[in-house]
Structure 1
């Protein structure tokens, strides 16, 4: 295998219902028949993705939680895991509480679908929707902040400079922003271990198979995809038409997730 095709999940590969349709599944099978490695790089945890896809989904690797972990999908094997150390976990928690953010602290991989949460007490529907989503899947929040964390997820109804504030305060860690996959408007700010991103996950897989970076295509839809979009050659970086306008001005734009954009791209490229 000397080529890799990488796609984000929510808002890119999946439709508004969070599911992949048969047209897209067939396109992924086409890649496999040609010996092309298929990678999903998502902000979802391994647990979360498994709630919306079939176990026989035709992919080879999963870069999950924005690069915190890498999973061999076919062999059901965890390959890579990363976490935030005890001191940083404590400092981040204290800072976010002091600033009255609504946030979750995720346990280390492979249990990073479990989390402790802190609420400022203000109205934040998206924050409570995320808690409710996990509760409906049998995941109850834990009572105390863990000593070590895989990531922090801060949910803000509006950006209002929060991303830059948090990124500058924790410049030694990886800080990403994304549009909420729940209400499609709130801002999620994620604090991750240093040197962790979707791009580092792809690089790990690339080295495993000695693939040239010129033979990697990437598709995304939001700001947290910037690392992997900038990782590949410009002509190999694509965004769906439902991506923010500033991203569409930078990268190659394809049809939206609701118009089978990824499947159509696969047909054109391969």
Structure 2
């Protein structure tokens, strides 16, 4: 019997339109009534996830910032931050020829000057996006740095980030144009495992859906693992099944 459902957001549950499927909130309520825990696992900010799931945020689990933040039933279980001493060097490295960074704290996101013209492209990430002149103006602990990489340069940028900071933080591609810098050793899978242990739920009782590299560890923890049909082959190789975003709610209803 399925007791936990772990769900990636962009490219998976949200589909091509970037919105929740019709009936999603009601279905999460029904799952909760049955004792089944719905867990969102995303690279998005905690604030944006809670806003999207406002009616049910306290009866579900949230894994935000690719695993850096965990909340379960409205209570914080984990908050991992980046080592502060490297942020200045990261700022010196990043330019508009490389990409547009968003510096993310637990409840607020910050944007550097050269990203201003790019604001419309990244404002969907959070409701509280603040413009600053330098990273040094950010006083809260930084949870992650998300970089919207210039088209066609992802392999080079990711390789250079790993070369410079791979010993101090995890560099993970979270979308076709996005690379995230998060706390070393942090994955969606590790954070999902924290929730599973807390609730005494095992792999045989877990279902997971994802579409990108940052979902692999999460898919490996689920007996019922689904990769989206558009996923890269190495993601599909990890999952046991494939489906389209439009099929997800029907699959959940069949199993639960």
The alignment's TM-score, normalised by the length of structure 2, stands at 0.83
Q: Specify the alignment match of 2:91 in structure 1.
A: 93
Take 1:138 and 1:91, find their aligned partners in 2: how far apart are those partners?
Answer: 25
* Count of residue correspondences: 250
**Which deviates further from its counterpart, 38-47 or 48-57?**
48-57
Q: Which runs of 5+ in 2 are unaligned?
A: none
Partner of 1:130: 121
- Name 1:192's counterpart in structure 2: 182
Alpha-carbon RMSD across the aligned residues, in angstroms, is 3.0
Map Cα deviations across residues 236-266 of structure 1 (whole Å, 9 max, x no partner): 3211223234423442333311x2x221221
Correspondence 1:49-198 to 2 at 5 A: 49-56=49-56, 59-72=59-72, 74=73, 76-97=74-95, 100-109=97-106, 111=107, 113-117=108-112, 119=114, 127-133=118-124, 137=127, 139-145=129-135, 146=138, 148-156=141-149, 157-158=151-152, 159-172=154-167, 173-179=169-175, 186-198=176-188
Summarize the Cα distance change of 1:12–1:131 in structure 2 as closer, same or farther, 3 Å threshold.
closer
Structure 2 CA distance for aligned equivalents of residues 17 and 51 of structure 1: 17
Q: Distance in 2 between matches of 1:119 and 1:248?
A: 37
Instruction: For structure 1, list consecutive stretches of 5 or more residues without a partner in the other structure.
Output: 180-185
Q: TM-score, normalised by structure 1?
A: 0.79
| Distance in 2 between residues matched to 1:248 and 1:2, nearest whole Å | 21
1:100 CA drift (Å): 4.7
| Greater displacement, 29-38 / 198-207 | 29-38
CA distance 1:55–1:249, change in 2 (3 Å): same
Is the 2:3–2:206 contact (alpha carbons within 8 Å) kept by the matching residues of 1?
yes
Cα shift at 1:21:
2.6
Is 1:13–1:262's contact at 8 Å kept on the other side of the alignment? Answer: yes
Q: Does the CA contact (< 8 Å) of 2:70 and 2:76 recur in 1?
A: yes
Corresponding residue to 2:242 among 254, 258, 261? 254
Q: Distance in 1 between matches of 2:162 and 2:190?
A: 19
SS across alignment from 1:49: helix
Distance 1:27 1:134 in 2: 24
How many Å apart are 1:12 and its aligned residue? 1.3
Deviates more, 1:215-224 or 1:17-26: 17-26
The 1:30–1:58 alpha-carbon spacing in structure 2 relative to 1, beyond 3 Å, is: farther
Q: Does structure 1 conserve the Cα–Cα contact (< 8 Å) formed by 2:2 and 2:206?
A: no
Task: Please state how far the C-alpha of 1:71 moved relative to its aligned partner.
Answer: 1.8
Asked if 1 retains the 8 angstrom alpha-carbon contact of 2:216 and 2:238, the reply is no
Aligned counterpart, 1:183: none
SS at match of 1:205: helix
Distance 1:19 1:220 in 2: 16
User: Structure 1, residues 71-118: CA drift from partner, whole Å, max 9, x if none?
Assistant: 23x4x3333211112212223223335x95223242432x3x321325
